[in-house]
Structure 1
Amino acid sequence: MMDFPPFSIPPYSRIVIDGVEMNLIEDGANGKVFEPVDKSRLPEFLSNKDIIALLHHGSMEIVKGRYDPRKLELADRFPYLRDLPEKKQKQIHFRLEWIMRFRGKGAREGNIDDNRMQQILTEIRSEYARDMVLARKNSHAKSKYSYEDGEFNLRLIGASTLRRWYRDYSLSGDDWRSLVDGRGSGEKKSKFTDESRELEGRMLKRYLSSTRPNAAYLFRVMKAMERRINRNRRAKGLTNFIKVCERSTFYNRIEDLPDDMKFIAREGEKLARMRYLIVAGRERGLPLDLVEGDEWKVDLVVLLNKAKVWDCLDKVEQAAFRKASKRVWISVAIDYATNCFLAFRLHERAPSVETALATFIQTNMDKTRFAKAAGCKTPWNMYGGLKDVRVDSAAWYEAEGFAASITDAGARIAYPPAALPPLRGTVERMFGILGSLALQNLSGRTFSNVVKRGDRDPRKEASVDIDALSQIFVRVIVDIHHNTRSTGKLGGLTPREAWNQLSHHKQKIPAPLSGSLIRHVFGVNYTRIIQRAGIKLFGIRYQSLQIQELRRDDTDREVVVRVNIYDLGAITVICGAYAYTVPAVLEGMKGRDYWTWTAVARELDLEDTQNAERTQEQLDDAFLAVDAAGDAARAATNLGSPIPTAKQFAAVDRRITQTLQIVAESKYTQEAREQDFNRSSFLSEVWGLDDEPEPDDLDVPAGDIVKAEAEEAARAARRRSSRNSAKATPESEQGGSTDDDFYNQF
């Protein structure tokens, strides 16, 4: 029987269940009682099982500390660290580095008076430089950038400044937002007089006229009026001359006017309604106290030797594993208290921020579906909210994008020196377990099956199937490692027993991110333009009043769209410091993943077509056909599949130029139903299956990187040229226009 541990919900949290904001009024071992904030209905009891199901499906969102009195104003001004400019992110992390090291000093040495502050500042800088030099020296994967010891000096600050940062941070409940520098955010006093600004305002008002005057003409008129006023005052002996703005400033002020205001004033309300009409549509601690992450190049030859299956492979298979060892990476996140794997990925590309985030998103997900897809007999239900995250000093973990996401997830991140057993022992030992004891339970025949042989010359074309190999590792983790007793810190318990025991009896597990929160924190970024019909993505329309208000303010606004590849039911649109959830117009998209939808788009023949009208029945049949084939499900649940990136997203949008429209049965939909759709390698392209493994340049001299990049660019150009010639179509089939073309002429 599966256990359903209770999740803890901290005080002052914002709780939303199925779109209704709730208050937690009773918290018990078997469940919780919630009541709507507006008291529109009676309190409702939800069991631990019910809560887990709601979180899993994204129907429940928990924003930790949202209503903390110490953080209310700050949370409204700066919702997420990830959305601040990179310069601001670096500033926050710099201040946090000083604060946390100063706090550690105080914990070890007691109260620090002013007389010792200069000594303490010097010691902190020395410790920081020592730690960073040691981390770089012992890091298992060197960065392609060169670092000298002198570059690790922590910039010196004043004692009063550090105390002020520390006080503000502590009083705010350890909220990073209290460290945002507010300088420059106030309104600046204008250097122009009230008379000058009034004259400029007149000209701006004249620009908003149905006569549509030219901006250059208005500027000349304004300067002429300035000269006439000053001439009259000079004749009267006055000295209070006026000075209007320069030409570039005047043009900028016109540009800053909202686009819809300018269009309505100059073109009229009728054309404005057509342009902006919205298209309607439908000790060892406790679990998750500390999570350790690492990424490692896998030496498959060494692993198979330790597992005593290397000699069972023939020469062709051994050669395939030797070749694969040069490009296969493993990425994990492990719970320090229980040794449970919270995340795992096997990939063929060099580590990056994308691979790190694709791994850490799993810490907030129930991974049982991944385990079932790999053939596991036990569930993989170890997940929850992050508290403290410890990673090494690799370049991808130090990047601002990763650090900001972990901070937005409500966790603190630490970069300890590498290769020190007290700090990284758990992660290091896990790789040893995967490569020795656990793999001995799998035969050589199992590993023979992951080698693919070509049909012409198998000795030249044999290669390792990364998807099949990742399935083996998942089975090792879920069925073997999680159920193997440990005589070390677990005291004879298995990791699964330790997780269940501690999560039920010692402390509730922090609630995971879900819904729009997990998408916003760990989603993949993509850039799109807001159109009259909303935002088009993968042939799906996303629409809301909020993004249309953004478009009215700036008609050609380009926004950052954040996508959760496991749920395309909604996207997050980023505008400055604000994030908006925008739902899909197409019904039934909630919970649909990227792989399933692109396979459905292929089944419906949506790519390279000017008419995307289909019936609801055709859409349902396509989902059933894709589900029966199983290819999309295998790609979505296989932790060795390529991670979709902005490159794959762009490939989809190049091929699917129209959004799917659900219509009644017609002659066209009947013709579309009868077509043979298996004509292209669309899915291989957008799933990244045909992509060659990226070169691992982490250990390559800087001079060779440019050469490698140039060679890869040349190969990509040849592949594009080959595909274009193979897909050449008559010019008459390549025409067509989007649904915005008519309105954009205005």
Structure 2
Amino acid sequence: MMQHFRLSETDCLQIAGVQHRLVRSDRSGSIWARLDQDHIRLAFTGTELLQCLGGPDTRLLRGHFSHSAALRRLRCDLQYLATCEPQKRRQALWQETWAKFFLDMAATGETSRTERSVKRVIPELERRVNEAEASGQDVGRAPRAGQTYVSFRAPCARSLLDWVRRYEAGGRSPLVFLRKRRLNAASPTLMAEAESLLAECVVGYLDRNQPTQEDIIKAVADRFAAVNAARREAGTTQLRVPSARTVRRRIKALDPFEVEAQRKGLEAARRKFGFYEEGLSADYPLQRIEMDEWLIDIASLLGDSGALDGLPAEIRSRMEVGRRWICVALDCATRCVLGFRIVPTPNTDDVILTLHLITQDKTRLAEAAGCQSSWDQAGGIGVLVTDQGSAFAAELFRMAVVDLGATYEAPPAGVPKLRARIERLFRTFGQQLAPMLIGRTFGNSVERGDYPSEKWAALTDDELARIFTLFIVDIYHNTPHAGLKGETPANAWKRLSAEQGVTPPPDANTRRVVFGLPHTRKLDRHGLRVFGINYTCPALQEALLRGHAGDVQLRVDPEDLSHVSVCLDHEWVSAQAVPRAVWGLSLEEWQSIVRELRMRFKAEAVVSERIIREARAKIRAIDAHARQLRRLQPMQLPEGALRRAENHLYLGLRIGPEESAATGDLDRRGDRQAAGHDSLLADAIGPDQPVGAPPASVVPVQPFSGNEEWDYNA
């Protein structure tokens, strides 16, 4: 099916550092013009644009040319919260929490935008904010007496109102709190008569004809010119004409609800600032996404993925039994499930992985589960709505949402109707899926009766993942939905994505920055080495020439080792893997290849890249099917496992084409010495050699032993 993305004239497509603006977008594709040379145009179909976004030098900056984004750039020079210092990031998210809770209370009529009204609700706001912040800090630790919480002193009413105005003007992004705009000098106070005239003119902005700010600025200039002409004839002092900047500040100070109501009508204001009984409406795919967790109504066997599948029933019955949680993301406009994760307990890491699934085509995953329908519902995120659970309140999750360019909302706790669609989906799971499965726990003890749920538990994590995938993709997506007036979610997605378009997914660099594994490395003449692979790019080479010292932050995509994202001077750039043999490999596949080669060739002197490519093909063919379903199941990765793997498995690992810097030397082919300490697999991987006895110059090496001490700083 032809991809149709929902693009805006405020979007910026940056290719190899050159910015382009959107000229036209429809179902056939999009046309972009260079900012510096408007006559140069680029055309992409939806599929071509998606491929382009996967490139290392392509960025799609959503809303880059909008007023709110321009305001954020004036106040803050950072694009990602991940780049900000932890203390400043924590404070910005804390300020955002204050602004959000105030807007919630203002929308329900509990307060208004006056200092007197705000002073009355400050204690209640402080209680809600502290409760939410404490919940976010509890992620990953068991509650214990004496634990500390980081908190900040509550703002005064005037400061809070200033935060709210800045938050709304900046497109509801916490980035506006990172740096205040510094004004050169305070504006002189206007005379009382001038203030009165200015107020009369500014009120003209509240008109159903929706005049622009420039219209009001011109009206102010004309009005003051007329008054000053009369004052000159009377011989009185002239009034100082307010600057355009002053007029704009007065307009922005108007109550947003009143502005919306006067210019577009009361109903439009209610839609913008108030909640419906079933949540805010969504008109196109990915405009609004609801995300929540549910304790599955099934008692299952708790064990590592695949570990219990081959055991007989009598042995399974003696295994540990319990209930898993499922974290689900649901598109409000089409009711399509955009991703889910089955987890032991709600936690931040898994909800972020669910967030990642929203942006990915999951058809291969559905095929691995045996589905007949595709699962291609994916794209960028508009507004993400969750409850106030600790996993969602955590700083890492909120930072990921902001860095994806999405808006985060957390309606008040205890009001499930504000997330009605996801709650309805969980009822569907309980009423339609659970009755088909053994080990059902039912909604309560009365419904359950004497049904022996734990005794009859038989499903493993693998089976649960496959069952939920089959139910969602083949049954739920193809069943007429009452909320869609009888249309199926799959058909609603096809229709609305064709009519309205879909928000484009994040580009590859943004995806790595937000979802990648964080690492720190030293920069040397070979670039950066991660998991035994050298990465380089022009920006890294320039940083090395400038004498860059200290550690370099980077992010690794565990699903594709072709590139990494590197942070240089608060900017994230893409660095490419030097050896082509690892392009397209996942981290798990690379680990399997290295383990296999360690075992097979520990007594050999030379192993070629051809052998690596052959091993890669074999491993992919064997377990590619199983790897897909692992993305939906609990991932048990002990803390520090990757670091230990680097200290032992990837020890001294270097790989690259012959006569390249990645091998550790730039000597000529004829002068190259035998493979040694710096070659691949620490023993040796060199160029392809004819089958037979090794060259005389090759010195035999001792077999690899996992108990040996190694130095990774080679």
| TM-score normalized with structure 1 length | 0.63
The answer to whether the aligner puts 1:325 opposite 2:299 as a matched pair is no
The answer for the alignment partner of 1:388 in structure 2 is 383
CA distance in structure 2 between the partners assigned to 1:732 and 1:415 by the alignment? 48
The answer for the alignment partner of 1:491 in structure 2 is 485
The answer for the alignment partner of 1:338 in structure 2 is 334
The answer for the alignment partner of 2:650 in structure 1 is 656
The answer for the alignment partner of 1:43 in structure 2 is 41
RMSD, aligned α-carbons: 4.6
**Cα gap change, 1:613/1:533 in structure 2, threshold over 3 Å: closer, same or farther?**
farther
The SS at the match of 2:580 is: coil
CA distance in structure 1 between the partners assigned to 2:650 and 2:641 by the alignment? 12
CA distance in structure 2 between the partners assigned to 1:76 and 1:136 by the alignment? 27
**Cα gap change, 1:387/1:185 in structure 2, threshold over 3 Å: closer, same or farther?**
same
Aligned-pair identity (%): 25
**Cα gap change, 1:315/1:597 in structure 2, threshold over 3 Å: closer, same or farther?**
closer
The answer for the alignment partner of 1:285 in structure 2 is 282
The SS at the match of 1:581 is: strand
TM-superposed deviation, 1:646: 6.7
Greater mean deviation of Cα atoms: 658-667 or 533-542:
658-667
Would you say the 8 A contact 2:291–2:329 is kept in 1? yes
What does residue range 557-706 of structure 1 map to in structure 2 within 5 Å?
A: 557-574=550-567, 577-587=570-580, 589-605=582-598, 614-629=607-622, 631-632=623-624, 634-638=626-630, 639-640=632-633, 642=635, 647-654=640-647, 655-657=649-651, 658-663=653-658
The SS at the match of 2:561 is: strand
The SS at the match of 1:567 is: coil
TM-superposed deviation, 1:371: 0.9
The SS at the match of 2:486 is: coil
CA distance in structure 2 between the partners assigned to 1:118 and 1:72 by the alignment? 29
CA distance in structure 1 between the partners assigned to 2:691 and 2:126 by the alignment? 68
CA distance in structure 2 between the partners assigned to 1:466 and 1:480 by the alignment? 20
Q: Which has the higher contact order (CA 8 A, sep 6+)?
A: 1
TM-superposed deviation, 1:50: 3.1
The SS at the match of 2:484 is: coil
CA distance in structure 2 between the partners assigned to 1:559 and 1:126 by the alignment? 43
Query: For 1:62-105, what per-residue CA distance to the aligned partner results, in whole angstroms no more than 9, with x for missing partners?
Result: 11133446247448711211221222122212222333344455
TM-superposed deviation, 1:12: 3.1
TM-superposed deviation, 1:586: 1.6
Specify which of 533, 536, 539 is matched with residue 540 of structure 1: 533
The answer for the alignment partner of 2:11 in structure 1 is 13
Query: For 1:416-447, what per-residue CA distance to the aligned partner results, in whole angstroms no more than 9, with x for missing partners?
Result: 34453312333333233234413566799xxx
The SS at the match of 1:8 is: coil
Greater mean deviation of Cα atoms: 97-106 or 335-344:
97-106
TM-superposed deviation, 1:365: 1.0
The answer for the alignment partner of 1:87 in structure 2 is 87
The answer for the alignment partner of 1:26 in structure 2 is 24
The SS at the match of 1:384 is: coil
CA distance in structure 2 between the partners assigned to 1:375 and 1:291 by the alignment? 27
The answer for the alignment partner of 1:519 in structure 2 is 512
Greater mean deviation of Cα atoms: 380-389 or 653-662:
653-662
**Cα gap change, 1:170/1:329 in structure 2, threshold over 3 Å: closer, same or farther?**
closer
TM-superposed deviation, 1:110: 12
TM-superposed deviation, 1:476: 1.4
Query: For 1:117-167, what per-residue CA distance to the aligned partner results, in whole angstroms no more than 9, with x for missing partners?
Result: 222343364266469879999xxx99833799xx99995322332333333
**Cα gap change, 1:155/1:496 in structure 2, threshold over 3 Å: closer, same or farther?**
farther
Paired residue total? 553
**Structure 1: any 5+ residue segments left out of the alignment?**
187-282, 304-312, 445-459, 676-727, 742-746
The answer for the alignment partner of 2:347 in structure 1 is 352
**Cα gap change, 1:627/1:471 in structure 2, threshold over 3 Å: closer, same or farther?**
same
Structure 2 counterpart of 1:13, one-letter code: D
Structure 2 counterpart of 1:498, one-letter code: A
Greater mean deviation of Cα atoms: 579-588 or 551-560:
551-560
Specify which of 155, 158, 165 is matched with residue 156 of structure 2: 158
**Cα gap change, 1:84/1:730 in structure 2, threshold over 3 Å: closer, same or farther?**
closer
TM-superposed deviation, 1:477: 1.3
CA distance in structure 2 between the partners assigned to 1:111 and 1:733 by the alignment? 66
Structure 2 counterpart of 1:622, one-letter code: A
Would you say the 8 A contact 1:338–1:498 is kept in 2? yes
Structure 2 counterpart of 1:340, one-letter code: C
The answer for the alignment partner of 1:508 in structure 2 is 501
CA distance in structure 2 between the partners assigned to 1:441 and 1:97 by the alignment? 42
What does residue range 188-337 of structure 1 map to in structure 2 within 5 Å?
A: 284-286=281-283, 287-301=285-299, 316=314, 319=317, 323-326=320-323, 328-337=324-333
The answer for the alignment partner of 1:100 in structure 2 is 100
The answer for the alignment partner of 1:214 in structure 2 is none
Would you say the 8 A contact 1:530–1:548 is kept in 2? no
TM-superposed deviation, 1:592: 2.8
Specify which of 55, 60, 71 is matched with residue 62 of structure 1: 60
Structure 2 counterpart of 1:656, one-letter code: Y
What does residue range 399-438 of structure 1 map to in structure 2 within 5 Å?
A: 399-438=394-433
The answer for the alignment partner of 1:473 in structure 2 is 468
Would you say the 8 A contact 1:135–1:416 is kept in 2? no
**Structure 2: any 5+ residue segments left out of the alignment?**
185-279, 302-310, 440-454, 660-668, 676-683, 693-701
Structure 2 counterpart of 1:329, one-letter code: W
CA distance in structure 2 between the partners assigned to 1:641 and 1:110 by the alignment? 42
Greater mean deviation of Cα atoms: 666-675 or 64-73:
666-675
Structure 2 counterpart of 1:49, one-letter code: T
CA distance in structure 2 between the partners assigned to 1:411 and 1:627 by the alignment? 35
**Cα gap change, 1:294/1:134 in structure 2, threshold over 3 Å: closer, same or farther?**
same
Structure 1 counterpart of 2:21, one-letter code: N
Would you say the 8 A contact 2:539–2:573 is kept in 1? yes
CA distance in structure 2 between the partners assigned to 1:134 and 1:566 by the alignment? 33
**Cα gap change, 1:316/1:613 in structure 2, threshold over 3 Å: closer, same or farther?**
same
Would you say the 8 A contact 2:12–2:60 is kept in 1? yes
**Cα gap change, 1:586/1:117 in structure 2, threshold over 3 Å: closer, same or farther?**
same
Query: For 1:443-501, what per-residue CA distance to the aligned partner results, in whole angstroms no more than 9, with x for missing partners?
Result: 99xxxxxxxxxxxxxxx9x98542343122211111111112222x2221211122222
CA distance in structure 1 between the partners assigned to 2:706 and 2:626 by the alignment? 38
Query: For 1:356-407, what per-residue CA distance to the aligned partner results, in whole angstroms no more than 9, with x for missing partners?
Result: 2111111111111111111111111111211221222222222111111111
The SS at the match of 2:47 is: helix
| TM-score normalized with structure 2 length | 0.66
CA distance in structure 2 between the partners assigned to 1:645 and 1:730 by the alignment? 24
Would you say the 8 A contact 1:364–1:513 is kept in 2? yes
Query: For 1:568-616, what per-residue CA distance to the aligned partner results, in whole angstroms no more than 9, with x for missing partners?
Result: 1111223563323222112264543222222333344399979997544
Structure 2 counterpart of 1:635, one-letter code: R
Would you say the 8 A contact 1:15–1:63 is kept in 2? yes
The SS at the match of 1:474 is: helix
Structure 2 counterpart of 1:380, one-letter code: W
**Cα gap change, 1:153/1:81 in structure 2, threshold over 3 Å: closer, same or farther?**
closer
TM-superposed deviation, 1:409: 0.9
The answer for the alignment partner of 2:367 in structure 1 is 372
Normalized per residue, which structure has more helix? 1
CA distance in structure 1 between the partners assigned to 2:603 and 2:393 by the alignment? 45
The answer to whether the aligner puts 1:119 opposite 2:104 as a matched pair is no
The SS at the match of 1:77 is: coil
